[in-house]
Amino acid sequence: MSDSTNTETLSPEQVGPQPQTPLQEFWSYFSANTGAVIGLVFIVTMIIVALSANWLAPHSPIEQYRDALLMPPAWVEGGSWTYVLGTDDVGRDILSRLMHGARLSLFIGCLVVTLSLGMGILLGLVAGYFQGAVDTAIMRAVDIMLAMPSLLLAIAIVAILGPSLINASMAIAIVSLPHYVRLTRASTIAELSKDYVVSSRVAGASHLRLMFITILPNCLAPLIVQATLGFSNAILDMAALGFLGLGAQPPTPEWGSMLADALQFVQRAWWVVTFPGLVILLTVLAFNLMGDGLRDALDPKLKQ
Amino acid sequence: MFQFIFKKLMLVVPTFIGITLLTFTLIRLIPGDPIEVMAGERGVSPERHAQLRAELGLDQPLLIQYKDYVVNIFHGDLGKSLITKTPVMEEFASLFPATVELATCAALFAVLVGLPAGIIAAVKRGSIFDHSVMTFSLTGYSMPIFWWALLLMLVFSVNLGWTPVSGRLDVTYWIDEVTGFMLIDTLLSGEEGAFASALHHLVLPSIVLGTIPMAVIARMTRSSMLEVLSEDYIRTARSKGMAPLRVIVVHALRNALIPVITVIGLQVGILLSGAILTETIFAWPGIGKWLIESIARRDYPVVQGGIMMVATIIIVVNLIVDILYGVVNPRIRHNK
């Protein structure tokens, strides 16, 4: 696919095109998907903004400017460049809140994905590797969780534990477990009968070594894709919980709860509602686009 | 066939037991003493405390409590609301039609828009239409529906004034509840304009709730159609000189629809959990809004019973979909 570009850069000593390293091959598949690259660029920008929110944000996310309540965005009549995206009902700068919210959302995404991926891999490996009664028990539990809508289960867990950011993250991590368990188990079973695993077992590798060093690295591709999609789910679910008042508590600048706070001003100030939602949509979209690209790049079988 | 159905039924039993265990444990996970928590800031006297403990059966050993809980479920008894004192089952039954009405309209919207969009996108693969369907469905799939609801409300209710902001019916109408389904009840009442009003109230919530399922159905239909369209028998049908429309509708669609049916069935869970958000925003008096309000009021028996009922409905629907899938596709039925 990169033949035409390669010919220009070939030095005279080279006789043929060099074989691509796995990373190069991955990138050539990934970059062929425009949407995925756009998603990646957006996410990288988001991470930079989130990390440097303290310096980039023009105002404090929780400072209330009492003389500037519900100011419209700068380009609208009555707006001012001091508050680029306007202010909310208690005079907090929306842009600054969104920037700090990015930090929160990405942090929650990381937390949820790490928790659920870790637990999911462990349970899936154990189920797939040992099979038998352990497998049945784990998979039954997973089926039960899949029978519940994830948001409802998360709401129930938060309702019981009490609304807070940490409880909400725990709840979302628990409800997203089943996918990781299923994926890990399926690929573990597929790998288990392959020759390299058998030979490693014959050579005397312990259970732990077989599970984590021999088998696991070969199961990672679908898990990476699922983890990317897990990010978008986590952000969406967290925003939904925040919107219902079950996630972050005020004055934390969380995107979902920003929307909930704005609810009563919908008619008077469109900007307090529009921007937080737009940011959620774009972030989730970016992760989904990137997930699609990763799937194409990591799993050539699914390519058309 | 009977063996197949029986097998599927047997698989539901452990799942159902699991659900009862889950709802049973959930309420016992409340940190601290459940009665103190339920009583909230008002506190509770020691006598009343003991009385409540006995009333709720909390003085029994856990195993007995669980047995009682399951026995009560099979008698249709999910406990009483702490606040209204009415049985949870009764409240559920009175609110459920509203949710079903909303979810049905949303599902109709999703299927009626998603299915044709997916088919046309696959047939006209690579066209502008295909690209826009894919873009729209990816956007729809990533949509925070509570925000989508607010946007639509802002445009169509506030700015254009085409649709009402909330509720199921204008307050000027008073309709006797017969079936609980507003569209049917307004027709039965024969009152002029009532049906139109009910329909008006349904439009926005249905679109909002149907957006994600629509996106999923469109994507699934497209990819499944693409797969089928590349099969040899389609080429044969085409080369025989069959009308293109006939090839698509009669030959391709039939086989392409099999995975789509499953996906449509799986949307029930999404519809019911989406209903929680949609109903809260549009003040739609259904199960979702009821659950959220009960959580806010710490009405734990309602939360417990409501979740139990919703989960059961989803299991039953998934079971029906599984069985239908076997009916449509004999390969599934005979495969293990």
Q: Which residues contact B56 (CB under 8 A, 6 or more apart)?
A: B34, B35
For residues A143-172, average pLDDT: 82
Q: Is B202 helix (H, G, I), strand (E, B) or coil?
A: helix
Domains of chain B in sequence order: 96-145+210-334 (1.10.3720.10)
Minimum Cα–Cα distance from A259: chain B residue: B147
Average per-residue pLDDT for chain A: 83
**Distance between first and last Cα of chain A:** 16
Highest mean pLDDT pick, B16-20, B72-76, B140-144, B193-197: B140-144
**Closest to A277 (Cβ–Cβ): which among B31, B144, B226?**
B144
pLDDT at position A303: 47
Percent of chain B with pLDDT over 70: 94
Mean pLDDT of chain B: 83
Residue located via tokens 């009442």? B189
| pLDDT tens digit sequence for B48-63 | 778 877 777 777 788 8
Q: Is A1 inside any structural domain? A: no
Q: What is the pLDDT of residue B334?
A: 65
Does residue A73 belong to any structural domain of this protein?
A: no
- The pTM for the full model equals 0.83
Tell me: pLDDT of B186 over 90: no
**pLDDT tens per residue, range A254-297:** 888 888 887 777 777 788 888 888 999 999 999 999 988 888 78
Residue A215 located in a structural domain: yes
Q: List the single best residue of A142, A143, A152 to mutate versus B (max B Cβ within 10 A).
A: A152
Is A161 inside a domain boundary?
yes
The pLDDT score that the predictor gives to residue A2 is 45
Rounded to whole angstroms, the Cα distance separating B269 from A151 reads 10
Number of domains in chain A: 1
What would the pLDDT profile of B91-112 be if each residue is shown by its tens digit?
898 888 889 989 999 999 999 9
Query: In the predicted model, what is the mean pLDDT of residues A71-99?
Result: 81
Asked whether residue A42 is assigned to any structural domain, the reply reads no
Quote the pLDDT of residue B218. Answer: 92
Query: Which tens digit of pLDDT belongs to each residue from B288-326?
Result: 889 888 887 778 788 888 888 888 888 888 888 878 777
Q: What's residue B108's pLDDT? A: 92
Containing structural domain, residue A196: 104-302
Please check whether residue A239 lies inside any domain of the structure.
yes
Q: In this predicted structure, what is the pLDDT of residue B333?
A: 67
CA–CA separation, B294 vs B71, rounded Å? 24
* pLDDT of A184 strictly over 60: yes
Q: Which residue has the higher pLDDT, B269 or B334?
A: B269
Pick B154's closest partner by Cβ from A160, A266, A276.
Answer: A266
**Residue B185 burial (CB count, 10 A):** 22
CA distance B60 to chain A (A): 22
Cβ-based contacts under 8 A for chains A and B: 124
Look at B154 and A273 and tell me if their CB atoms are within 8 Å.
yes
| Structure ipTM | 0.80
Contacts (Cβ under 8 Å, ≥6 apart) of A159: A246, B295, B303
Query: Ranked by mean pLDDT, which of A12-21, A33-42, A139-148, B2-11 comes out on top?
Result: A33-42
Average pLDDT over residues B79-92: 85
Which pLDDT band holds residue A15 (cuts at 50, 70, 90)? Answer: low
Q: Is the pLDDT of residue A107 over 80?
A: yes
Min Cα–Cα distance to chain B from A265, Å:
11
Q: What is the CATH number of the domain that holds A248?
A: 1.10.3720.10
pLDDT of residue A225: 86
d(CA B83, CA A143): 34
Mean pLDDT, residues A143-164 taken together: 80
CA torsion through residues A211, A214, A216, A218, sign: negative
What is the distance in angstroms between the Cα of B29 and the nearest Cα belonging to chain A? 7
Q: Is pLDDT above 60 for B188?
A: yes
Beta bridge partners of A87: A93
pLDDT value at residue B336: 46
CB contact under 8 A, B310 and A141: no
Tokens of B86: 């009415």
Tokens at A190, concatenated: 């597929």
Q: Is A77 inside a domain boundary?
A: no
Query: Is A295 part of a structural domain of the chain?
Result: yes
| Dist. CA A127–CA B290, nearest whole Å | 38
pLDDT over 90 percentage in chain A: 19
pLDDT band at A123 (very low <50, low <70, confident <90, very high): very high
pLDDT band at A38 (very low <50, low <70, confident <90, very high): very high
pLDDT in tens, B13-49: 888 888 888 888 877 777 666 677 666 666 677 787 7
pLDDT of residue B205: 92
Does pLDDT of B115 surpass 70? yes
| Alpha carbon of A57: minimum distance to chain B alpha carbons (Å) | 24
One-letter amino acid at B93 equals A
